[in-house]
Amino acid sequence: MNKTNAPWTIGSILTWTGQYFAEKGVENPRLDAEVLLSHILERERIQLYVNFDQPLQPHELTAYREAVKKRVARMPVAYITGCREFMGLEFCVTPAVLIPRPDTEILVEAVLKKLHGFDQPALLDLGTGSGAIIVSLLANLPTAAGAAVDISDNALDIARQNAEKNQVSSRLKLYQGDLYQPVKGQTFDAIISNPPYIPDSDIQELTQEVRQEPHLALAGGPDGLDFYRRIVRDAAQYLNAGGLLAVEVGIHQAQAVAALAQPMEQLVFIEIIKDYSGIERVVVFQRS
């Protein structure tokens, strides 16, 4: 790839990879090249800029080429580096879990705001995946205790690692099972969930990158609302009086999800919160 036979430097390999990714249709070619290289060199991205002339060692070059190949095969950057930042914390991710999205920070921030003033709140995260939601809530609420459920044992392994990494594992119980089933008989001050919400017919239209994420974490049934129906239907049974249910929703789903509480006697819809792009992203309910 380097015609002059000059050794590859940080600067020259970033230029080459940026162009290569662009030709291959990778969405953020230069950014991805930098994130992958900084991961392999184990330094901050800014450090690449002040060391442009530094030659790469053969083992670094080998590792980088492997990473570039994976990215061109549309593996998301976070699966290649094995980590992702969320709410200012570092999370491990593998293809067993959905990659935490900035959208979900809106959900976490909304819950933090609403729980202000609760002493020692008990929290439940349904479909925890990487644990990003419950771990970042616990990290920001030092007196809170959490329970997190996932149907996937592989996801729970990652959530456990992330709880340890972010020092909240002593306050978090992890359960394998289907939604509320493993926490039968317990009640909470807040239930939080980012369930699978992509309508089945839209799955094929997702980017190749998103399609490498677990189907189990994406597919929400014919209209995408299957999990909300079950979560809302049983929420009151698992909430203390005054307790909250907050869920992330996909585009154009908020009104339909809010309406699910209409026939419920003990659960009322209280608020829809928009994300930074103005999309209705979070629906909040309260137990009366």
Q: How far apart are CA 74 and CA 211, in angstroms?
A: 9
Min dist. Cβ of residue 165 to ligand GLN (A): 22
210 binds ligand GLN (CB under 6 A): yes
Residue 10 vs 108, nearer CB to ligand GLN: 108
Question: Would you state the structure tokens that stand for residue 137, as one six-digit string?
Answer: 């809530």
Interface residue with ligand GLN among 101, 160, 165, 233 (CB under 6 A) is 101
Residue (66 or 205) nearer to ligand GLN, CB: 205
Task: Compute the residue count for the chain.
Answer: 288
- With CB under 6 A as the rule, give the number of residues binding ligand GLN: 10
The one-character DSSP state at 285 is E
> Quick check: 35 binds ligand GLN (CB under 6 A)?
no
Structure tokens that stand for 68 in this block? 């570039």
Asked if residue 218 binds ligand GLN (CB under 6 A), the reply is yes
192's tokens? 């939080």
d(CA 92, CA 84): 6
- Of 76 and 146, nearer to ligand GLN (C-beta) is 76
Residue 122: alpha-carbon gap to chain centroid: 21
- 198 interacts with ligand GLN by CB under 6 A: yes
Does residue 257 contact residue 241 with C-beta atoms inside 8 Å? no
The neighbour count for residue 219, using CB atoms within 10 Å, is 17
User: Does residue 124 touch ligand GLN according to CB under 6 A?
Assistant: no
The values of phi and psi at residue 160, to 5°, are -60, -45
Q: Give the shortest CB-183-to-ligand GLN separation in angstroms.
A: 20
Residue 196 is a binding residue for ligand GLN (CB under 6 A): yes
Position 151 contacts ligand GLN (CB under 6 A): no
**Which residue ranges make up the site for ligand GLN (CB under 6 A)?**
98, 101, 103, 194-198, 210, 218
